[in-house]
Structure 1
């Protein structure tokens, strides 16, 4: 697979680094939206599976994440992140004006992707939400109850049953290994509430995938949010035993095959 091409644009609050993976004669554009504290470089294998399937793939490192500008993991308003994401989508649509766009968001990125779909649904042909922070995430209230946010970084063991995933995460210099920051937590809380209040995604085909043993973003809390936004075309796949990062799980090939089968179902005939 070709290496990602990195390019920058002037985001709402600083330079945003974007990753793009090319292929000849693509059938669709896949836009990847990564989660909290990480970066899109962790999704090389996802991009590879999608390019093999027929996609050109792109996505940003969010503000304060990866190679993008900003204080690490400091996001004060997710409207800024959604606006940056729309710049990426518009660039892809300029390059490939006749191709449908599928957005795939994981964890915090699932929240961002859901909000994007509520605000800019006509941009998208389909939406995939992986372990999304939606509905009720009890971690938010527990952390915000402290005068000083505890220094409790994400436990790499909760990401996947594959210990190599946790090891690589712990050793990745572009991953944030420090505590959550209060402004980001408050912005998360606000965005989740906005999504709940905005409601249904209408007819947008949506695939929700989640690990049954997700201890970072528990299934039951997310389900309340899915019920708030579900439209007329929702597919749900819950994977027994899987932890938070389903695309990095021991059965990731099966899970990625679910995604590509869903895309095949919803893509318009060409």
Structure 2
């Protein structure tokens, strides 16, 4: 196991904790944007695979998530989180000048990665979107209620591996409470901005599980079709649920991701 080290950066709304997994002789930088309600520590296995492929890996806990500052899972503007990602990129790029940067975003983090790529494409070598919230998202229907109902995530929807769901439920850094209206509104606004924004000109890989109930592939595709650039690749995995990097075929998924990244970095 590769033990991560911690650093703090100053975000738009407080200090953010960033996990760093160091490579001995890094050839590129991987930035990971985690999903709603979770934290960067859940990407330990992913980070180890990336380090083995010579990546220097950085993964912040977004504002209001994990060990970072802020009211839990609350933010009013997704653009501030995109700006936090750019703050981190600037810092680590200065420490590793000349290394290409690959942005990897999962779920809500995939939405943030897509928006970041629209605004800062010149800083990226490639983008990986894992089950990204794009296009439409059924969870936003909760905004129709005067009071947001408590609709906890069913852990069985994360992976076919039951241990993944059990670990998720037991994780004290994961948010297990209801959604918050400002956050849902911010996500809705971000999706609208992405739909109206430019296509992704940088090489992009989209991976999604065919049986993803949390972020259905068909809903995401409506957003993907709006931002799909000329070098866009996709893998839809039969039977796959929401967290492909924690799925029973995670080695296959990671192999496809690393093959894509290696090809783009060497092209």
Tell me which residue corresponds to 1:184: 183
Counterparts of 1:259 and 1:84 in 2: how far apart (Å)? Answer: 24
Shift of 1:138: 2.2
Tell me which residue corresponds to 1:115: 115
User: Counterpart of 2:262 in 1: which secondary structure?
Assistant: helix
- Structure 2 counterpart of 1:221, from 207, 219, 222: 219
* CA contact 1:59–1:88 (8 Å) conserved in 2: no
The answer to whether the aligner puts 1:63 opposite 2:53 as a matched pair is no
Counterparts of 2:205 and 2:10 in 1: how far apart (Å)? Answer: 31
Question: Deviation string for 1:38-66 (max 9, x for gaps)?
Answer: 00000000000000011010021000000
Question: Deviation string for 1:92-131 (max 9, x for gaps)?
Answer: 1111111110000000000000000000011100000000
Q: Which moved more, 1:39-48 or 1:10-19?
A: 10-19
Counterparts of 1:11 and 1:69 in 2: how far apart (Å)? Answer: 9
Tell me which residue corresponds to 1:27: 27
Alignment of 1:69-218 (within 5 A): 69-140=69-140, 142-202=141-201, 204-218=202-216
Tell me which residue corresponds to 1:239: 237
Tell me which residue corresponds to 1:39: 39
Shift of 1:199: 2.9
CA RMSD of aligned residues (A): 0.8
Counterparts of 1:43 and 1:75 in 2: how far apart (Å)? Answer: 22
TM-score, structure 2 length as denominator? 0.99
Counterparts of 2:206 and 2:256 in 1: how far apart (Å)? Answer: 10
Counterparts of 1:153 and 1:34 in 2: how far apart (Å)? Answer: 18
Shift of 1:158: 0.5
TM-score, structure 1 length as denominator? 0.97
Counterparts of 1:48 and 1:124 in 2: how far apart (Å)? Answer: 21
Counterparts of 2:136 and 2:78 in 1: how far apart (Å)? Answer: 17
Counterparts of 2:59 and 2:42 in 1: how far apart (Å)? Answer: 12
User: Counterpart of 1:208 in 2: which secondary structure?
Assistant: strand
Counterparts of 2:198 and 2:10 in 1: how far apart (Å)? Answer: 31
Long gaps (5+) in structure 1: none
Question: Deviation string for 1:158-202 (max 9, x for gaps)?
Answer: 000000000000000000000000000000000000000003112
User: Counterpart of 1:247 in 2: which secondary structure?
Assistant: helix
Long gaps (5+) in structure 2: none
Counterparts of 1:85 and 1:208 in 2: how far apart (Å)? Answer: 20
Counterparts of 1:242 and 1:92 in 2: how far apart (Å)? Answer: 33
Counterparts of 2:193 and 2:112 in 1: how far apart (Å)? Answer: 11
Counterparts of 1:9 and 1:139 in 2: how far apart (Å)? Answer: 31
* CA contact 1:105–1:128 (8 Å) conserved in 2: yes
Tell me which residue corresponds to 1:49: 49
Counterparts of 2:23 and 2:219 in 1: how far apart (Å)? Answer: 38
Tell me which residue corresponds to 1:263: 261
User: Counterpart of 1:267 in 2: which secondary structure?
Assistant: helix
Counterparts of 1:87 and 1:268 in 2: how far apart (Å)? Answer: 26
User: Structure 1: which 4+ aligned runs deviate by more than 4 Å?
Assistant: none
* CA contact 1:9–1:17 (8 Å) conserved in 2: yes
* CA contact 1:82–1:112 (8 Å) conserved in 2: yes
Q: When the two structures are aligned, how many residues end up with a matched partner?
A: 267
Shift of 1:2: 2.7
